[in-house]
Chains A and B, each alone.
Chain A
């Protein structure tokens, strides 16, 4: 396993379209996170899964955003009716199940541009 994998790396879409991103975590990790990063800012937390259960959601996650993690493996993040303000880098991360060494390992991200 080579780490967290995200697909696609880049996505350009027209305003109002729906987009879906995929994340494949490190195989032995049961925790999976989605973050969003805009220029000049640090990553901002969106949501967190432990196995297939979505345990935390940020206020940033409007009703246009939905995330799933069926069977506790890969995850998808869908944005409906995209807006220009959704343009950002979407980062996925995963971490192990212990109570120590819970550092999250990030994928390379999906760069979304809404035109």
Chain B
């Protein structure tokens, strides 16, 4: 049973355009969500997070939107740059239940075309 789902294995975007990566979750106990970026042969790098008490969090070119009723979140990257090409993982935790473990999706490979 996959509790965090990233249904698009890959996404290609032109440089300068917007990249939108999507993530769905099923566990209603999840209350803290994170996005990580991963290059080959490296560990995941933290990008941005959002608590369930918010519906939007912005950090430079990265914005995460949370729709709790739909159990859906998305990561927007504007403008997309070739260096953004990587695998992006959505992750969730149930901090309110005292759990600090992260449950990850399978990832979406983003390719930004120059």
Contacts and interface: CB of A to CB of B under 8 A. Distances in A.
A binds B: yes
B100 A31 contact: yes
Interface string A28-52: 0001010100001111110010100
Contact of A109 (B42, B100, B103, B105): B42
A91 interface: yes
A43 B107 CA distance: 10
B34 interface: yes
B101 to A, nearest CB: 4
Interface residues of B, number: 25
Interface residues of A, number: 31
Given A103-B49, A104-B46, A40 B106 contact: yes
Nearest to A47: B101
Contacts of A35: 102
A17 interface: no
Given A95-B100, A102-B32, A41 B106 contact: yes
Interface string B10-40: 0000000000000000000000101010000
Given A91-B43, A105-B46, A108-B43, A42 B105 contact: yes
Nearest to B46: A103
B95 interface: yes
Given A42-B107, A109-B42, A109-B43, A56 B101 contact: yes
Interface of B: 4, 32, 34, 36, 41-46, 49, 51, 89, 91, 93, 95, 99-107
Interface of A: 4, 6, 31, 33, 35, 40-45, 48, 50, 55-56, 58, 91, 93, 95, 99-109, 111
15 contacts: A33-B100, A33-B101, A35-B102, A41-B107, A42-B4, A42-B91, A42-B107, A43-B89, A91-B44, A99-B95, A100-B51, A102-B95, A108-B41, A108-B43, A111-B41
